[in-house]
Amino acid sequence: MRRVPDQPGNLWQQGCNEHFKQAYVFSLTAHRHPHNLAKPSTYRDDADVGSIYLIRHGQASFGADDYDVLSPTGIRQAEILGQHLAGIGVSLDRCVAGDLRRQQHTAASALEQYAAVGLPVPPLETDPAFNEFDADAVIRALLPAMLDDEPEALDILRNAAQNRAEFQRIFALIIERWLAGTYDTPGLESWLGFVERVQGGLHRILEQADNTQKIAVFTSGGTITALLHLITQMPAKQAFGLNWQIVNTSLNQLKFRGREVSLASFNSFAHLQLLKAPDLITFR
């Protein structure tokens, strides 16, 4: 995968939308030659350009014994997404999901809306490369070293649903340590290992894709963040700053031609906004 140079820091301060409009491109074939840097591309000519829609899963069961289950709101979000995509004429040539239940269920609920109006539905492929990182494992591995500075962290994490703001603060601190890599432990997937896994999944999709295909990938916020980091070369910490803003069932569009990929849009949730129902806009 070709990497592009880091962008100037003040670009972040000017707002993420300006950063994304430049649609930075990387090339999978040039990953072994990091000095061959890609130039920004806008893909003004959409001829022979394919699209990959990265879709975050619907709302899961935050604070419950099993997070990996869509809530009733999550199911509704996925149905609305499917109705929206079918309604605006987005035909899908392939559909891929990680093997987590919330990802699979989101895909099934969305694709049922295509079938309901008689549109063709491609078979759902499963690739665990698009699974979320194991947040519980990261917390278990990195929390002990934080307890001297954050003695209440364990109680906050055990009662996350009742302490959402404090949970987010503690979790963000843990993620910062995970991103830094200085607390990596045997058996724990590192940030770099996670990025490599996700990169492999994208590579496989592109290897099998035609340039005009539209491909849906039902995945998770961390996975989308890893791809954002890869494609824009945004520093990992800043990318995770955006991760906290990714709405359930939001659309993140990549455009590709051959092995080159650009970011076309990020965190679009118009399908939810159009209903003017704030309760449908969730982040867990």
Per-residue confidence (pLDDT) for residue 15, from 0 to 100:
34
Q: For 171-185, what is each residue's pLDDT tens digit?
A: 999 999 999 999 899
Backbone angles phi, psi at 22, to 5 degrees: -75, -10
Q: Examine the pLDDT at 197 and tell me if it is beyond 70.
A: yes
The DSSP secondary structure of 64-80, one letter per residue, reads: SS-SSS--HHHHHHHHH
Question: Does residue 94 sit in helix, strand or coil?
Answer: strand
What local confidence, expressed as pLDDT, does residue 113 receive? 98
**pLDDT band for position 48 (cuts 50, 70, 90):** confident
Tens digit of each residue's pLDDT (9 = 90 or more) over 98-133: 999 999 999 999 999 999 999 999 999 999 999 999
Kindly report the CATH number that applies to the domain delimited by 50-132+190-280.
Answer: 3.40.50.1240
pLDDT at 161 (0 to 100): 75
Average pLDDT, the chain: 85
Residue ranges per domain, the chain? 50-132+190-280, 134-188
Checking 168-175 for CB contacts under 8 A at 24+ apart, the result is 168/244, 170/146, 171/135, 171/139, 172/240, 172/244, 173/146, 174/138, 174/139, 174/142, 174/143, 174/146, 175/138, 175/240
User: Would you place residue 43 in the very low, low, confident or very high pLDDT band (cuts 50, 70, 90)?
Assistant: low
